Structure 1
Amino acid sequence: MFKPAVLLALATAVMARKCQNLNIPISISARNAVFNLPNPVSEIDVTNFALSLTRPGTDFPDSILTGYKTVSGKYSIAATYCQPDHGPGKALQILTHGVGFDRSYWDLSFNNFNYSYVAHAVDEQGYSTFTWDRLGIASSSKGDPVNEIQKSLEVAALQELSILLRQGSVRGISAKFDKFIHVGHSFGSAITYNFINANPDFSDAAILTGFSQSQNLDFATAFLLGGNFRPVKENPLLAAKYPIGYFAPQSSIGVNIQFFAPGDFDPKMLANAFNIGQAATPGELLTIASGAGDTNSFKGHLLIITGERDLPFCGGNCTDTTSIQGAFPDLLAPSKAFFPSAATFNTSIVPGAGHGLNLGYSHKTTYASMFDFLSSFY
């Protein structure tokens, strides 16, 4: 049975969508890196990891890499499927969140769901949506934070979920779709990038939000050190939810630095973002760049959309091109060369927005750009 996704503050107002929470069993395998790194247990361990990972002139992941190993397992993925009241939407959007959040990033309840991307996509645009907690995060299965929960295994999870959805094999979803849109944010965009490269004909369109291919270590340094990570066991909001070795920002200051731009957010949203925040693994951060420099075989329509003041992918200024070679108008434009087979290639920089595009006042501009892009072929 489908249940209404939300009830708004006004008792008479019900969102025009139906949603179903799911737990989906999957069996996957991936070629993971093997790192000689003990689980970071103390604050000093976590800080030393961040300092080593961001040290200029070195390749920390390579320095602790001892080889590769195929990791296989059976896991449970927590997900939510939503569709319009009248039935399945015109296409299914598969939404992958980034580091620091879970699937609620796409369906924020803050301010009566005014910031919810899912609400806009389903209620106003007529799509169906599938959001999922990435493998290792929130209500999905956990695993070893160094040598199991890595990018490659999470890509494998996205691939298996996508195949099951195309086959109509997910219990609880009666609809079967033939049109798909893959959407990611940040690390979720990096995962989506690898997925659409390996499956170039699967999706009609893909949207990479909070993303660029600048490959600038200074940008990652600001994000990793600015987040002021601490061991998850010392975070009262997350300690009971994650095994030792995971970490998360110590306070809302770290979340502010990482995801918000000055003047573009409600202070109550910042508090909310910290309260719903999730942990990350060393394995994810050690492998985040894998595949990002590969030429992408994707054949569908592509949009890269990023906040003007995005910190981890633009260093706080997506229009400053002094860090890249060549004549480009911004830090998103160089990605065009990586998508030679795309049906169309589009970029958009959201004025004044930070890395957490769904969290700022500017989310309306972000969503308008995304749906304008999709409206050209849906």
Structure 2
Amino acid sequence: MLSSTIGLWFLAAGTVSAKTCYNVTVPVSISARNGVFDGLKTPTTNTDATAFVLNMTRQGGNFTDDALTDYDTVSGRYNISTQYCAPNGTVSNGTTLQILTHGIGFDRTYWDLPYNNFNYSYVDYALSRGFQTLSYDRLGLGNSSHGDPKNEIQTFLEVEALAQITRMIRNGSVPGIRSKPSKIVHVGHAYGSAQTYALVAKYPSLSDGIVLTGFSLNSSFTPLFLAGANFQQASQNRTTSTQSSNKYSPGYLSSGNAGNSEFLFFYPNHFDPKILAYAEQNKQPVTVGELLTMASVPTTNDFTGPVFVIDGSNDVPFCGGNCTAIGGNGTSIAAGVKDAFPSAKTFSSYIQPNTGHGLNLHYNATGGYKEIADFLQKQGFAMKMKMKKKTRN
């Protein structure tokens, strides 16, 4: 019934002695009620891209509403490129699987960066703590199916792709993945966290727990992100690898240069300059449809499982560069997300010091990984395994 492309390899890892990973292309049949933005002509030049951002950031306006002309059901069969990993070469039933959703500017490798011998790999750390992982290229990006960047590749359809992958994992119908987890935790970064949030708001029974990294419900700083990116057509961006940029049609936008990437994702003096160059060379775009719908999530969420929110102390897109500047109301912007989860089994938040929006790209990344794993294990997920490497806080 389902076709798949499966690759297997064994990798030496920084925090586990070895990992077994499979590349699996998963076909999904999904549909969603998408916005029709015929009030906007798809940007086809860099000048158009700048005009689009100017409209999106204009004070006193709501360009999403201006461009929206209707709603329509979008349906299709799409391929989702995934990577499934298990610790120490052991693929077993009854464990906790983390489904990892990346944010804007990245693909699934955000979670398993090969840079510097995988020393920044979130996957390796999660495996060392007894979890299994499934990372994937979000619909429309990387090696997953692409589509119309305005009226097709939007938040609503991408959330349905995540939901369908989760269902298939739960019922054991993903080809090439031989284990059936007892529990599933969804972990997101930034826009991937927004999609994780939207997933459990619509389908609360699909997840046993969620981790939202680089996330808040404060949209005040979205214009900083949009303007700071200096968006250009991905196909014309010279700092994006030729192999990557040639995949994308007009309306797929990428940040302008390394300076823009540093502004969006990094905290100065707390990252390896070479990892900035790596991130810039391997960056992925965003669609205009995603930018128009990325704030389309409910303000409250009836999810009843445990929730953990972790932000870098100097996150720009969600904290304006200072996640503790809240005027005396609470402890941090991340802590404020608690108000959106009145029914959560438990809620906890954490601010990772000396870190920008791209938590996985900083010197102290593993310190944040430890906070996530500690929270999940306190909630009964996975089992404790012997650590082979100290973490940095």
State the TM-score, normalizing by the size of structure 2. 0.91
CA separation of 1:343/1:38 partners in 2, compared to 1, >3 Å: closer, same or farther? same
CA separation of 1:226/1:176 partners in 2, compared to 1, >3 Å: closer, same or farther? same
Say if 2:127 is the partner of 1:162.
no
Aligned mates of 2:288, 2:10 — CA distance in 1: 34
- Indicate if the aligned counterparts of 2:266 and 2:357 stay in contact, CA closer than 8 A: yes
Aligned mates of 2:85, 2:245 — CA distance in 1: 30
Match of 1:313 among 313, 318, 331: 318
Structure 1 residue aligned with 2:284: 278
AA aligned to 2:61 is: T
Say if 2:245 is the partner of 1:243.
no
Structure 1 residue aligned with 2:343: 341
CA-CA distance at 1:334 after TM superposition: 2.1
- Indicate if the aligned counterparts of 1:26 and 1:76 stay in contact, CA closer than 8 A: yes
Structure 1 residue aligned with 2:334: 332
Aligned mates of 1:2, 1:72 — CA distance in 2: 29
Structure 2 residue aligned with 1:30: 32
Structure 2 residue aligned with 1:57: 60
CA separation of 1:2/1:17 partners in 2, compared to 1, >3 Å: closer, same or farther? farther
AA aligned to 1:48 is: A
Trace 1:1-378 onto structure 2 (pairs within 5 A): 3-7=8-12, 15-35=17-37, 36-84=39-87, 85-88=89-92, 90-122=95-127, 124-216=128-220, 219-236=221-238, 237=241, 238-293=244-299, 295-322=300-327, 327-376=329-378, 377-378=380-381
- Indicate if the aligned counterparts of 1:6 and 1:14 stay in contact, CA closer than 8 A: no
Aligned mates of 2:343, 2:176 — CA distance in 1: 35
- Indicate if the aligned counterparts of 1:134 and 1:140 stay in contact, CA closer than 8 A: yes
CA-CA distance at 1:226 after TM superposition: 1.1
CA-CA distance at 1:290 after TM superposition: 0.5
- Indicate if the aligned counterparts of 1:31 and 1:69 stay in contact, CA closer than 8 A: yes
- Indicate if the aligned counterparts of 1:108 and 1:116 stay in contact, CA closer than 8 A: yes
Aligned mates of 2:231, 2:7 — CA distance in 1: 39
- Indicate if the aligned counterparts of 2:216 and 2:334 stay in contact, CA closer than 8 A: yes
Aligned mates of 2:335, 2:13 — CA distance in 1: 40
CA-CA distance at 1:86 after TM superposition: 2.3
- Indicate if the aligned counterparts of 2:79 and 2:145 stay in contact, CA closer than 8 A: yes
CA separation of 1:60/1:5 partners in 2, compared to 1, >3 Å: closer, same or farther? farther
AA aligned to 1:151 is: T
Question: Residues 210-266 of structure 1: CA distance to partner in whole angstroms, max 9, x if unpaired?
Answer: 0001121xx111111111111112124233111121111121111101000112100
AA aligned to 1:75 is: Y
Structure 2: give runs of 5+ residues left out of the alignment.
1-5, 382-393
Aligned mates of 2:10, 2:100 — CA distance in 1: 17
- Indicate if the aligned counterparts of 1:309 and 1:317 stay in contact, CA closer than 8 A: yes
AA aligned to 1:18 is: T
CA separation of 1:5/1:286 partners in 2, compared to 1, >3 Å: closer, same or farther? farther
CA-CA distance at 1:331 after TM superposition: 1.0
Aligned mates of 1:247, 1:86 — CA distance in 2: 40
AA aligned to 1:39 is: T
SS of the residue 2:84 aligns to: strand
Aligned mates of 2:17, 2:51 — CA distance in 1: 47
Aligned mates of 2:112, 2:148 — CA distance in 1: 28
- Indicate if the aligned counterparts of 1:30 and 1:156 stay in contact, CA closer than 8 A: yes
CA-CA distance at 1:8 after TM superposition: 6.5
State the TM-score, normalizing by the size of structure 1. 0.94
AA aligned to 2:23 is: N
- Indicate if the aligned counterparts of 1:3 and 1:18 stay in contact, CA closer than 8 A: yes
Aligned mates of 1:239, 1:111 — CA distance in 2: 24
SS of the residue 1:82 aligns to: strand
SS of the residue 2:55 aligns to: helix
- Indicate if the aligned counterparts of 2:264 and 2:317 stay in contact, CA closer than 8 A: yes
Aligned mates of 1:38, 1:2 — CA distance in 2: 40
CA-CA distance at 1:337 after TM superposition: 1.6
AA aligned to 1:316 is: G
Q: CA RMSD in A?
A: 1.7
**What percent of counterpart residues are identical?**
47
